[in-house]
Amino acid sequence: MVNISEDLYMITLPMPFRLKHVHVFALVHDNGVALFDTGVNTPEAFTKLEGALRSIGKDIHDIDRIFITHFHTDHCGIAGRIKDLSGAAIFMSETDARRIYDDQRGSLDINLVRGFYRQHGLSERFIDGLLRLLDFFKKATIPFRVDEYFEGHGTYHFGRKKFEIIPAPGHTSGQVCFYLPDERILLSGDHVLPHITPNLSPDPYNPDFRPLRCFLDSLQKVVMLPVVTAYPSHGEPILNLRARVEEIREHHRERTGLILSSVKWGQKTTFHVSLDIFGSELTEFDQFLAVNETYAHLVELEKEGLIRKKWEGEYLVYSAV
Ligand SMILES: [Zn+2]
């Protein structure tokens, strides 16, 4: 655990899959603790969180509020358990809360997801594997109800502390960052990461969601803040947020160029374009991420009028204009 500012602590919790760790943040206020994200639902993560709180004279029962950046299981997997133990109120965007509720009800429309990936060129066998994986992720989160939805750029006050909600859709359609203006600290969630760019995925419920456009707009939003240090959910603190954002923009500009060149060589599904860009030697999960990322770029190229899409039988194919 690291004390990153007065009364604000970064706690690094273990995670049993890629990246291996996730940071959560504890703001000690009055008699309680506000927690920003919770980590995954494993006994190891819970024990580590308990130990970290104990070292500052607090425990799980002192957590009175939980603020969640987005619905992925490494960010809110254990929120339900903490809420059961301490009665903490949970705050989240309404958009991402809806994903949590759908997962809890088991009402994720399988046919919707299947249809989407089928039309973009993935095989049935591949989609079956993907659905099993999505099922695993959704069961990993302990069910919970959200007490309050974030509204726009709301400000929350704790004694002498305050922080602002910065909506940052892109990685998910409802992701937020938290900005502490007095400390000039940004808790950037998965929005800005030091070494990787967050996966950009379509929202199966919202076919009009433009992940890349939203992500780039959200980058612009955080870069306008006078941030001194950004603390991401994974990896080390970002000391020059502007420079990191510029690297990420450049990365996406390059990728857009590569995808445009791929489409110039004949009609292709999203899957085929993703093979050109990312190769075919990926694990199934990485292939899925590659298709999502490629889709995010194709959507924007089409909006710009640089490529066109049409139906070829049951597939959507892209070609140069
Ligand atoms: Zn995430």
Kindly state whether residues 57 and 203 are assigned to the same domain: yes
Cα(175) to centroid(ligand 1), Å:
9
Q: Where among 189, 224, 248 does a domain terminate?
A: 248
CATH code at 296?
1.10.10
Does residue 189 fall inside a structural domain?
Answer: yes
pLDDT tens-digit profile of 10-27?
A: 999 999 888 899 999 999
Kindly state whether residues 193 and 95 are assigned to the same domain: yes
Q: Where among 220, 248, 276 does a domain terminate?
A: 248
Cα(191) to centroid(ligand 1), Å:
8
Of 150, 117, 149, the residue nearest 134 (C-alpha): 117
Residue 9 confidence class, pLDDT cut points 50, 70, 90 = very high
Does residue 111 fall inside a structural domain?
Answer: no
Kindly state whether residues 209 and 232 are assigned to the same domain: yes
Does residue 255 fall inside a structural domain?
Answer: no
CATH code at 199?
3.60.15.10
Whether residue 207 is predicted with pLDDT greater than 90 in this model: the reply is no
* pLDDT for the residue numbered 21: 96
Kindly state whether residues 183 and 84 are assigned to the same domain: yes
Kindly state whether residues 230 and 266 are assigned to the same domain: no
Kindly state whether residues 84 and 214 are assigned to the same domain: yes
- DSSP H helix total and E strand total for the chain: 10, 14
Q: How would you list the strands of the sheet with 155-158, edge to edge? A: 155-158, 161-167, 176-180, 185-189, 229-232
Whether residue 108 is predicted with pLDDT greater than 70 in this model: the reply is no
Kindly state whether residues 149 and 130 are assigned to the same domain: no
Kindly state whether residues 129 and 90 are assigned to the same domain: no
Kindly state whether residues 174 and 72 are assigned to the same domain: yes
Element at 58 (helix H, strand E): none
Cα(30) to centroid(ligand 1), Å:
31
Token pair recorded at residue 193: 């990461």
Mean pLDDT, rounded, of the chain? 94
**pTM value?**
0.94
Query: What is the C-alpha separation between 211 and 83, in angstroms, rounded?
Result: 31
Cα(193) to centroid(ligand 1), Å:
11
Residues around the ion ligand 1 (C-beta < 5 A): 72, 190
Kindly state whether residues 90 and 166 are assigned to the same domain: yes
Largest CA distance in the chain: 64
Please compute the mean of the pLDDT values over residues 37-54 and round it to a whole number.
Answer: 97
Q: Where among 219, 248, 277 does a domain terminate?
A: 248
Contact indicator for 248, 40 with CB cutoff of 8 Å: no
Contact indicator for 179, 128 with CB cutoff of 8 Å: no
Please compute the mean of the pLDDT values over residues 59-68 and round it to a whole number.
Answer: 97
Whether residue 206 is predicted with pLDDT greater than 90 in this model: the reply is no
Whether residue 133 is predicted with pLDDT greater than 90 in this model: the reply is no
Of 203, 206, 68, 50, the residue nearest 145 (C-alpha): 68
Cα(234) to centroid(ligand 1), Å:
10
Residue span of the structural domain in which 211 resides: 2-106+140-248
Does residue 30 fall inside a structural domain?
Answer: yes
Q: Which of 38-42, 104-108, 135-139 has the least mean pLDDT?
A: 104-108
| Per-residue b or e along 132-169, where b marks 16 or more CB atoms closer than 10 Å to that residue's CB | eebeeebebbbebebeeebeeeeebebeebebbbbbbb
Cα(174) to centroid(ligand 1), Å:
11
* pLDDT for the residue numbered 151: 83
Give how many domains the chain has, as a whole number.
2
Whether residue 204 is predicted with pLDDT greater than 80 in this model: the reply is no
Does residue 89 fall inside a structural domain?
Answer: yes
Cα(256) to centroid(ligand 1), Å:
22
Cα(285) to centroid(ligand 1), Å:
14
Cα(231) to centroid(ligand 1), Å:
14
Element at 286 (helix H, strand E): helix 284-303
Q: Which of 41-45, 157-161, 177-181, 276-280 has the least mean pLDDT?
A: 157-161
Question: How far is the first Cα of the chain from the last one, in angstroms, to the nearest whole number?
Answer: 54
Does residue 197 fall inside a structural domain?
Answer: yes
Does residue 24 fall inside a structural domain?
Answer: yes
* pLDDT for the residue numbered 107: 62
Please compute the mean of the pLDDT values over residues 151-173 and round it to a whole number.
Answer: 92
Token pair recorded at residue 104: 């809890």
